[in-house]
Amino acid sequence: METKENDKMEKIISLCKRRGFVFQGSEIYGGLAGTWDYGPYGEILKWNIKDLWLKRFVRDREDMYQVDAAILMNQKVWQATGHVSGFSDPLVECEKCKKRFRADTLIDAKKCPSCGGKIGAEKQFNMLFKTNIGAVEDENSISYLRPETAQGMFVNYKNIIDTFHPKLPFGLAQIGKAFRNEIAPRDFLFRAREFEQMEIEYLIKPPKDDEWKPVFESLKEEMINFSKDIGLDEKHIHPIEVAEADRAFYSQRTIDVEFDFPFGQKELYGLAYRTDYDLKRHSESSGVALEYLDEETKEKFIPHCIEPSFGLDRAVLAVLSDAYTEDEMNGEKRVYLKFSPNVAPVKVAVFPLLKNKPDLVRKAREVYAMLKKEFGNVEFDDNGNIGKRYRRQDEIGTPFCVTIDFETIEKDGAVTVRDRDTGKQERVEIAKLEEFVKGKFK
Protein backbone atom coordinates (compact mmCIF):
# COMPACT_ATOMS: atom_id res chain seq x y z
CA MET A 1 0.00 0.00 0.00
CA GLU A 2 1.28 3.48 -0.85
CA THR A 3 2.23 5.71 2.05
CA LYS A 4 2.38 9.40 1.29
CA GLU A 5 5.83 10.56 2.33
CA ASN A 6 4.59 13.55 4.30
CA ASP A 7 2.26 11.30 6.33
CA LYS A 8 5.02 8.81 6.82
CA MET A 9 6.97 10.91 9.34
CA GLU A 10 3.82 11.48 11.41
CA LYS A 11 3.14 7.76 11.36
CA ILE A 12 6.70 6.91 12.39
CA ILE A 13 6.63 9.44 15.24
CA SER A 14 3.29 8.11 16.42
CA LEU A 15 4.45 4.48 16.26
CA CYS A 16 7.63 5.39 18.13
CA LYS A 17 5.58 6.89 20.95
CA ARG A 18 2.87 4.21 20.98
CA ARG A 19 5.32 1.34 21.11
CA GLY A 20 7.98 2.80 23.38
CA PHE A 21 10.77 3.69 20.95
CA VAL A 22 11.09 7.45 21.30
CA PHE A 23 9.26 10.04 23.40
CA GLN A 24 9.32 13.81 23.42
CA GLY A 25 11.94 15.07 25.90
CA SER A 26 10.47 16.27 29.26
CA GLU A 27 7.02 15.38 27.94
CA ILE A 28 4.99 15.81 31.14
CA TYR A 29 6.21 19.41 31.35
CA GLY A 30 5.12 20.17 27.81
CA GLY A 31 8.38 19.01 26.23
CA LEU A 32 11.69 20.72 25.49
CA ALA A 33 12.25 21.60 21.84
CA GLY A 34 15.04 19.68 20.15
CA THR A 35 15.29 16.93 22.77
CA TRP A 36 14.07 13.34 22.52
CA ASP A 37 14.03 10.53 25.07
CA TYR A 38 14.58 6.96 23.95
CA GLY A 39 12.26 4.36 25.45
CA PRO A 40 13.22 0.70 25.94
CA TYR A 41 12.83 -0.43 22.30
CA GLY A 42 14.44 2.70 20.85
CA GLU A 43 17.32 2.33 23.26
CA ILE A 44 17.97 -1.27 22.21
CA LEU A 45 17.68 -0.28 18.54
CA LYS A 46 20.21 2.49 19.11
CA TRP A 47 22.58 0.16 20.96
CA ASN A 48 22.33 -2.42 18.19
CA ILE A 49 23.36 0.26 15.69
CA LYS A 50 26.25 1.37 17.93
CA ASP A 51 27.31 -2.22 18.34
CA LEU A 52 27.40 -2.84 14.57
CA TRP A 53 29.38 0.36 14.15
CA LEU A 54 31.87 -0.70 16.83
CA LYS A 55 32.14 -4.11 15.24
CA ARG A 56 32.89 -2.80 11.76
CA PHE A 57 35.03 0.20 12.68
CA VAL A 58 36.75 -0.87 15.90
CA ARG A 59 36.52 -4.52 16.95
CA ASP A 60 37.10 -6.11 13.53
CA ARG A 61 40.16 -3.92 12.91
CA GLU A 62 43.60 -3.70 14.44
CA ASP A 63 44.19 0.00 13.89
CA MET A 64 41.46 1.67 15.98
CA TYR A 65 41.64 3.13 19.47
CA GLN A 66 38.30 3.85 21.12
CA VAL A 67 38.09 6.64 23.69
CA ASP A 68 35.37 8.27 25.75
CA ALA A 69 36.36 11.87 26.42
CA ALA A 70 34.55 14.27 28.76
CA ILE A 71 31.68 16.28 27.30
CA LEU A 72 32.89 19.40 29.12
CA MET A 73 36.26 20.54 27.81
CA ASN A 74 38.60 23.42 28.48
CA GLN A 75 37.24 26.50 26.64
CA LYS A 76 40.62 26.83 24.92
CA VAL A 77 39.75 23.72 22.86
CA TRP A 78 36.86 25.55 21.24
CA GLN A 79 38.79 28.77 20.85
CA ALA A 80 41.50 26.86 19.01
CA THR A 81 39.07 25.19 16.63
CA GLY A 82 37.27 28.41 15.81
CA HIS A 83 33.95 27.25 17.29
CA VAL A 84 33.79 30.12 19.82
CA SER A 85 34.18 32.74 17.12
CA GLY A 86 32.56 31.04 14.17
CA PHE A 87 30.27 28.08 14.92
CA SER A 88 27.16 29.90 13.84
CA ASP A 89 24.13 29.81 11.61
CA PRO A 90 22.51 32.85 9.99
CA LEU A 91 19.56 34.00 12.10
CA VAL A 92 16.68 36.28 11.15
CA GLU A 93 13.72 37.55 13.16
CA CYS A 94 10.22 38.52 12.08
CA GLU A 95 9.67 42.16 13.04
CA LYS A 96 5.96 41.50 13.64
CA CYS A 97 5.61 38.15 15.50
CA LYS A 98 9.24 37.99 16.71
CA LYS A 99 9.65 34.36 15.59
CA ARG A 100 13.22 33.42 14.69
CA PHE A 101 14.35 31.40 11.67
CA ARG A 102 17.51 30.10 10.10
CA ALA A 103 17.92 32.51 7.22
CA ASP A 104 19.00 29.83 4.75
CA THR A 105 15.78 27.84 5.29
CA LEU A 106 13.36 30.62 4.30
CA ILE A 107 11.72 30.34 0.90
CA ASP A 108 11.07 34.08 0.78
CA ALA A 109 13.92 35.89 2.58
CA LYS A 110 11.75 38.99 3.20
CA LYS A 111 8.50 37.44 4.41
CA CYS A 112 7.77 35.58 7.68
CA PRO A 113 6.48 32.07 6.88
CA SER A 114 4.40 32.15 10.04
CA CYS A 115 2.57 35.54 10.00
CA GLY A 116 3.66 37.13 6.72
CA GLY A 117 5.41 39.98 8.59
CA LYS A 118 8.65 41.64 7.52
CA ILE A 119 11.86 39.76 8.15
CA GLY A 120 14.63 41.78 9.81
CA ALA A 121 18.37 41.89 9.13
CA GLU A 122 20.46 38.73 9.26
CA LYS A 123 22.67 38.08 12.32
CA GLN A 124 25.09 35.29 13.12
CA PHE A 125 23.90 33.04 15.94
CA ASN A 126 26.49 30.93 17.78
CA MET A 127 25.23 27.39 18.37
CA LEU A 128 27.47 26.50 21.32
CA PHE A 129 25.74 25.79 24.63
CA LYS A 130 27.66 27.85 27.14
CA THR A 131 27.95 27.08 30.83
CA ASN A 132 30.16 27.94 33.81
CA ILE A 133 32.26 25.48 35.70
CA GLY A 134 32.43 25.79 39.49
CA ALA A 135 31.07 28.42 41.84
CA VAL A 136 32.46 31.53 40.15
CA GLU A 137 30.82 32.83 37.01
CA ASP A 138 33.46 34.74 35.10
CA GLU A 139 35.32 34.60 31.80
CA ASN A 140 37.71 31.94 33.09
CA SER A 141 35.02 29.53 34.25
CA ILE A 142 33.27 29.38 30.86
CA SER A 143 32.90 25.96 29.29
CA TYR A 144 30.75 24.57 26.51
CA LEU A 145 28.82 21.39 25.96
CA ARG A 146 30.79 19.90 23.09
CA PRO A 147 29.19 20.46 19.67
CA GLU A 148 31.00 17.41 18.24
CA THR A 149 32.88 14.44 19.64
CA ALA A 150 35.83 14.93 17.26
CA GLN A 151 37.85 17.30 19.47
CA GLY A 152 37.76 14.82 22.37
CA MET A 153 39.88 12.60 20.13
CA PHE A 154 42.32 15.24 18.89
CA VAL A 155 43.09 16.32 22.46
CA ASN A 156 43.74 12.68 23.41
CA TYR A 157 45.94 11.96 20.41
CA LYS A 158 49.11 12.51 22.45
CA ASN A 159 47.89 10.25 25.26
CA ILE A 160 47.32 7.46 22.78
CA ILE A 161 50.71 7.95 21.13
CA ASP A 162 52.47 7.96 24.52
CA THR A 163 50.67 4.93 25.94
CA PHE A 164 50.07 2.68 22.92
CA HIS A 165 52.82 3.74 20.46
CA PRO A 166 50.61 2.98 17.44
CA LYS A 167 52.04 2.83 13.95
CA LEU A 168 50.49 5.08 11.33
CA PRO A 169 47.94 4.84 9.91
CA PHE A 170 45.64 4.43 12.90
CA GLY A 171 42.34 5.84 14.05
CA LEU A 172 40.72 7.21 17.16
CA ALA A 173 37.06 6.34 17.56
CA GLN A 174 34.40 7.70 19.85
CA ILE A 175 30.66 7.45 20.42
CA GLY A 176 29.04 10.13 22.52
CA LYS A 177 26.66 13.01 22.97
CA ALA A 178 27.00 16.32 21.17
CA PHE A 179 25.00 19.52 21.70
CA ARG A 180 24.10 22.30 19.29
CA ASN A 181 21.72 25.12 20.00
CA GLU A 182 20.02 24.70 16.61
CA ILE A 183 17.87 27.68 15.62
CA ALA A 184 15.15 25.44 14.28
CA PRO A 185 15.22 21.84 15.53
CA ARG A 186 12.96 19.83 13.23
CA ASP A 187 12.14 16.59 11.51
CA PHE A 188 12.06 14.45 14.65
CA LEU A 189 15.48 12.92 15.40
CA PHE A 190 17.06 14.52 12.32
CA ARG A 191 17.86 17.92 13.78
CA ALA A 192 17.95 17.90 17.56
CA ARG A 193 19.76 20.09 20.08
CA GLU A 194 21.15 17.09 21.94
CA PHE A 195 22.20 14.12 19.85
CA GLU A 196 24.76 11.38 19.59
CA GLN A 197 27.66 11.03 17.18
CA MET A 198 29.93 8.18 16.20
CA GLU A 199 33.16 9.61 14.85
CA ILE A 200 36.58 8.48 13.71
CA GLU A 201 39.72 10.54 13.31
CA TYR A 202 41.85 8.40 11.02
CA LEU A 203 45.46 9.56 11.04
CA ILE A 204 47.86 9.10 8.16
CA LYS A 205 51.40 10.16 7.30
CA PRO A 206 51.39 13.52 5.50
CA PRO A 207 50.67 12.24 2.01
CA LYS A 208 52.68 12.81 -1.12
CA ASP A 209 50.29 13.88 -3.86
CA ASP A 210 47.30 11.51 -3.96
CA GLU A 211 48.48 8.99 -1.37
CA TRP A 212 45.48 9.80 0.87
CA LYS A 213 42.94 8.88 -1.79
CA PRO A 214 42.85 5.07 -1.33
CA VAL A 215 42.36 5.50 2.44
CA PHE A 216 39.56 7.97 1.79
CA GLU A 217 37.93 5.57 -0.68
CA SER A 218 38.16 2.59 1.66
CA LEU A 219 36.58 4.55 4.52
CA LYS A 220 33.83 5.68 2.16
CA GLU A 221 33.20 2.06 1.20
CA GLU A 222 33.07 1.04 4.86
CA MET A 223 30.48 3.76 5.51
CA ILE A 224 28.29 2.26 2.79
CA ASN A 225 28.90 -1.27 4.14
CA PHE A 226 27.90 -0.13 7.61
CA SER A 227 24.67 1.30 6.15
CA LYS A 228 23.94 -2.16 4.77
CA ASP A 229 24.79 -3.76 8.14
CA ILE A 230 22.01 -1.75 9.77
CA GLY A 231 19.57 -2.71 7.02
CA LEU A 232 19.38 0.47 4.96
CA ASP A 233 18.39 0.10 1.33
CA GLU A 234 21.44 0.95 -0.78
CA LYS A 235 19.17 2.67 -3.30
CA HIS A 236 18.35 5.27 -0.66
CA ILE A 237 21.99 6.16 0.03
CA HIS A 238 23.72 8.84 -2.03
CA PRO A 239 27.34 9.85 -1.54
CA ILE A 240 27.50 13.46 -2.71
CA GLU A 241 30.74 15.22 -3.51
CA VAL A 242 30.79 18.61 -1.76
CA ALA A 243 32.06 21.38 -4.04
CA GLU A 244 35.17 23.28 -2.99
CA ALA A 245 33.20 26.48 -2.37
CA ASP A 246 30.92 24.69 0.09
CA ARG A 247 33.64 22.83 2.01
CA ALA A 248 35.26 23.95 5.24
CA PHE A 249 38.39 25.91 4.24
CA TYR A 250 40.74 23.24 5.66
CA SER A 251 39.02 20.32 3.95
CA GLN A 252 40.58 19.02 0.76
CA ARG A 253 37.68 16.74 0.04
CA THR A 254 34.28 16.21 1.63
CA ILE A 255 31.56 13.71 0.85
CA ASP A 256 28.11 14.04 2.38
CA VAL A 257 26.44 10.68 2.51
CA GLU A 258 22.80 11.59 1.96
CA PHE A 259 19.75 9.44 2.58
CA ASP A 260 16.18 9.55 1.26
CA PHE A 261 14.39 10.58 4.44
CA PRO A 262 10.60 10.95 4.25
CA PHE A 263 11.11 14.74 4.11
CA GLY A 264 13.71 14.59 1.33
CA GLN A 265 17.29 13.65 0.54
CA LYS A 266 19.41 14.95 3.43
CA GLU A 267 22.80 14.40 5.09
CA LEU A 268 23.08 11.21 7.08
CA TYR A 269 26.87 11.06 7.54
CA GLY A 270 29.92 12.96 6.37
CA LEU A 271 33.46 12.07 5.33
CA ALA A 272 36.14 14.75 5.21
CA TYR A 273 39.88 14.91 4.57
CA ARG A 274 40.79 17.54 7.18
CA THR A 275 44.56 17.58 6.44
CA ASP A 276 46.65 18.45 9.54
CA TYR A 277 44.38 21.36 10.46
CA ASP A 278 43.06 20.17 13.86
CA LEU A 279 46.26 18.80 15.36
CA LYS A 280 48.21 21.80 14.09
CA ARG A 281 45.74 24.22 15.66
CA HIS A 282 45.82 22.37 19.00
CA SER A 283 49.59 22.22 18.93
CA GLU A 284 49.89 25.98 18.27
CA SER A 285 47.24 26.86 20.78
CA SER A 286 48.31 24.58 23.66
CA GLY A 287 52.04 24.93 23.07
CA VAL A 288 52.33 21.13 23.25
CA ALA A 289 54.17 19.43 20.40
CA LEU A 290 51.75 17.07 18.70
CA GLU A 291 54.23 15.58 16.30
CA TYR A 292 54.54 11.93 15.50
CA LEU A 293 57.98 10.36 15.47
CA ASP A 294 58.39 7.75 12.75
CA GLU A 295 60.70 5.21 14.44
CA GLU A 296 61.99 3.86 11.13
CA THR A 297 62.82 7.06 9.30
CA LYS A 298 63.26 9.23 12.44
CA GLU A 299 61.11 11.85 10.73
CA LYS A 300 58.83 14.05 12.86
CA PHE A 301 55.57 15.39 11.49
CA ILE A 302 51.97 16.20 12.32
CA PRO A 303 49.74 13.48 10.87
CA HIS A 304 46.90 14.26 8.50
CA CYS A 305 43.34 13.25 9.31
CA ILE A 306 40.43 11.71 7.42
CA GLU A 307 37.20 11.89 9.41
CA PRO A 308 34.13 9.71 8.94
CA SER A 309 31.39 11.27 11.06
CA PHE A 310 28.06 9.57 11.78
CA GLY A 311 24.94 10.96 13.43
CA LEU A 312 23.54 8.11 15.48
CA ASP A 313 20.05 9.57 15.83
CA ARG A 314 19.92 10.21 12.08
CA ALA A 315 20.92 6.56 11.58
CA VAL A 316 18.07 5.50 13.91
CA LEU A 317 15.64 7.63 11.90
CA ALA A 318 16.93 6.24 8.60
CA VAL A 319 16.51 2.68 9.89
CA LEU A 320 12.97 3.44 11.08
CA SER A 321 12.14 5.13 7.79
CA ASP A 322 13.33 2.21 5.64
CA ALA A 323 11.68 -0.30 7.96
CA TYR A 324 8.23 1.33 8.14
CA THR A 325 5.87 -0.72 6.01
CA GLU A 326 2.14 -0.90 5.50
CA ASP A 327 0.51 -3.86 3.80
CA GLU A 328 -2.48 -6.13 3.94
CA MET A 329 -2.35 -9.55 5.54
CA ASN A 330 -5.29 -11.95 5.69
CA GLY A 331 -7.56 -9.16 4.50
CA GLU A 332 -6.47 -6.82 7.28
CA LYS A 333 -4.41 -3.65 7.08
CA ARG A 334 -1.16 -3.99 8.95
CA VAL A 335 1.75 -1.78 9.93
CA TYR A 336 5.11 -3.31 10.59
CA LEU A 337 8.77 -2.46 10.93
CA LYS A 338 10.81 -4.49 8.51
CA PHE A 339 14.00 -4.29 10.57
CA SER A 340 17.01 -6.32 9.63
CA PRO A 341 17.32 -8.99 12.38
CA ASN A 342 20.69 -7.34 13.15
CA VAL A 343 19.05 -4.24 14.57
CA ALA A 344 15.61 -5.50 15.64
CA PRO A 345 15.11 -4.65 19.34
CA VAL A 346 13.37 -7.98 19.93
CA LYS A 347 14.93 -10.89 18.05
CA VAL A 348 12.29 -13.52 18.77
CA ALA A 349 8.98 -13.60 20.64
CA VAL A 350 7.69 -16.77 22.29
CA PHE A 351 4.01 -17.50 22.88
CA PRO A 352 2.10 -20.32 24.51
CA LEU A 353 -1.01 -20.80 22.32
CA LEU A 354 -3.25 -20.41 25.37
CA LYS A 355 -2.58 -18.66 28.65
CA ASN A 356 -4.61 -20.96 30.88
CA LYS A 357 -2.97 -24.28 29.98
CA PRO A 358 -0.10 -24.83 32.45
CA ASP A 359 1.63 -27.44 30.24
CA LEU A 360 1.77 -25.04 27.30
CA VAL A 361 2.97 -22.16 29.46
CA ARG A 362 5.66 -24.33 31.09
CA LYS A 363 6.99 -25.51 27.72
CA ALA A 364 6.87 -22.00 26.30
CA ARG A 365 8.82 -20.70 29.31
CA GLU A 366 11.45 -23.38 28.68
CA VAL A 367 11.81 -22.42 25.01
CA TYR A 368 11.86 -18.74 25.98
CA ALA A 369 14.67 -19.31 28.51
CA MET A 370 16.68 -21.25 25.94
CA LEU A 371 16.35 -18.57 23.25
CA LYS A 372 16.91 -15.73 25.70
CA LYS A 373 20.22 -17.22 26.74
CA GLU A 374 21.34 -17.28 23.12
CA PHE A 375 19.77 -14.10 21.70
CA GLY A 376 19.31 -11.84 24.73
CA ASN A 377 16.41 -9.72 23.57
CA VAL A 378 13.62 -12.28 23.48
CA GLU A 379 10.06 -11.60 24.65
CA PHE A 380 7.47 -13.84 26.25
CA ASP A 381 3.85 -12.93 25.58
CA ASP A 382 0.68 -14.76 26.61
CA ASN A 383 -1.73 -11.81 26.42
CA GLY A 384 -4.81 -11.84 24.21
CA ASN A 385 -5.27 -13.91 21.08
CA ILE A 386 -2.40 -14.93 18.82
CA GLY A 387 -3.42 -12.50 16.07
CA LYS A 388 -3.13 -9.58 18.46
CA ARG A 389 0.25 -10.78 19.70
CA TYR A 390 1.52 -11.05 16.10
CA ARG A 391 0.33 -7.53 15.35
CA ARG A 392 2.17 -6.13 18.36
CA GLN A 393 5.39 -7.92 17.45
CA ASP A 394 5.03 -6.82 13.80
CA GLU A 395 4.76 -3.21 14.92
CA ILE A 396 7.99 -3.39 16.92
CA GLY A 397 9.70 -5.28 14.09
CA THR A 398 10.31 -8.69 15.69
CA PRO A 399 11.50 -10.94 12.84
CA PHE A 400 10.16 -14.23 14.26
CA CYS A 401 7.40 -15.40 16.57
CA VAL A 402 7.49 -18.90 18.05
CA THR A 403 4.27 -20.52 19.22
CA ILE A 404 4.01 -23.55 21.47
CA ASP A 405 0.77 -25.45 20.90
CA PHE A 406 -0.80 -28.79 21.88
CA GLU A 407 1.05 -30.67 19.15
CA THR A 408 4.35 -29.47 20.59
CA ILE A 409 3.63 -31.34 23.78
CA GLU A 410 1.50 -34.22 22.61
CA LYS A 411 3.07 -35.07 19.28
CA ASP A 412 6.19 -33.75 17.71
CA GLY A 413 8.26 -31.57 20.08
CA ALA A 414 8.17 -28.94 17.33
CA VAL A 415 6.99 -25.33 17.40
CA THR A 416 5.48 -22.98 14.85
CA VAL A 417 7.83 -20.26 13.65
CA ARG A 418 6.07 -17.38 11.94
CA ASP A 419 7.97 -15.01 9.66
CA ARG A 420 7.16 -11.31 10.15
CA ASP A 421 7.39 -10.26 6.51
CA THR A 422 5.55 -13.08 4.77
CA GLY A 423 3.37 -14.34 7.63
CA LYS A 424 4.47 -17.84 6.57
CA GLN A 425 4.56 -20.44 9.31
CA GLU A 426 6.73 -23.52 9.52
CA ARG A 427 7.23 -26.27 12.06
CA VAL A 428 10.70 -26.45 13.56
CA GLU A 429 11.91 -28.99 16.13
CA ILE A 430 12.79 -27.35 19.43
CA ALA A 431 16.23 -29.00 19.31
CA LYS A 432 16.90 -27.22 15.97
CA LEU A 433 15.26 -23.93 16.84
CA GLU A 434 18.36 -22.04 17.93
CA GLU A 435 20.23 -22.97 14.75
CA PHE A 436 17.18 -22.14 12.64
CA VAL A 437 16.89 -18.62 14.07
CA LYS A 438 20.65 -18.06 13.94
CA GLY A 439 20.64 -18.99 10.27
CA LYS A 440 18.26 -16.11 9.57
CA PHE A 441 20.60 -13.53 11.15
CA LYS A 442 23.33 -12.22 8.92
Give residues in contact with ligand ATP (CB under 6 A): 148, 180, 182, 191-192, 195, 197, 267-270, 309, 311, 313-314
> What residue number has its CB nearest to ligand ATP?
311
Of 201, 216, 214, 215, give the one whose Cα is nearest residue 290: 201
The total of other beta-carbon atoms located within 10 Å of residue 141's CB is 13
Detail the DSSP E strand segments found in 345-433.
348-352, 378-380, 400-404, 414-419, 425-429
Q: Quick one: 176 or 270, whose CB is closer to ligand ATP?
A: 270
- Residue 333 parent element (H or E): strand 332-337
DSSP type of residue 213: H
Shortest reach from residue 125's CB to ligand ATP, in Å: 13
Q: Quick one: 89 or 407, whose CB is closer to ligand ATP?
A: 89
Cα angle vertex 319, ends 318, 325, to 5°?
Answer: 105
Question: How far is the C-alpha of 79 from the C-alpha of 56, rounded, in Å?
Answer: 33
Q: Quick one: 264 or 384, whose CB is closer to ligand ATP?
A: 264
Pairing of strands 348-352, 378-380: parallel
Three-class secondary structure of residue 306 per DSSP = strand
Q: Quick one: 156 or 309, whose CB is closer to ligand ATP?
A: 309
Q: Quick one: 154 or 351, whose CB is closer to ligand ATP?
A: 154
Q: Quick one: 200 or 268, whose CB is closer to ligand ATP?
A: 268
Question: How far is the C-alpha of 127 from the C-alpha of 180, rounded, in Å?
Answer: 5
Shortest reach from residue 148's CB to ligand ATP, in Å: 6
Shortest reach from residue 317's CB to ligand ATP, in Å: 9
Shortest reach from residue 297's CB to ligand ATP, in Å: 34
Q: Quick one: 163 or 225, whose CB is closer to ligand ATP?
A: 225
- Residue 22 parent element (H or E): strand 22-24
Shortest reach from residue 81's CB to ligand ATP, in Å: 12
Q: Quick one: 16 or 350, whose CB is closer to ligand ATP?
A: 16
> At 22, phi and psi to the nearest 5?
-140, 135
Measured CA to CA in angstroms, residue 210 lies from 214, 253, 273, 309, 344 at distances of: 8, 12, 12, 22, 41
Three-class secondary structure of residue 239 per DSSP = strand
Shortest reach from residue 151's CB to ligand ATP, in Å: 12
The total of other beta-carbon atoms located within 10 Å of residue 331's CB is 5
Question: How far is the C-alpha of 424 from the C-alpha of 10, rounded, in Å?
Answer: 30
Shortest reach from residue 185's CB to ligand ATP, in Å: 7
Single-letter code of the amino acid located at 28: I
Shortest reach from residue 230's CB to ligand ATP, in Å: 14
Residues linked to residue 102 through DSSP beta bridges, in sequence order: 91
Q: Quick one: 321 or 403, whose CB is closer to ligand ATP?
A: 321
Q: Are 279 and 305 in contact (CB under 8 A)?
A: yes
Shortest reach from residue 311's CB to ligand ATP, in Å: 2
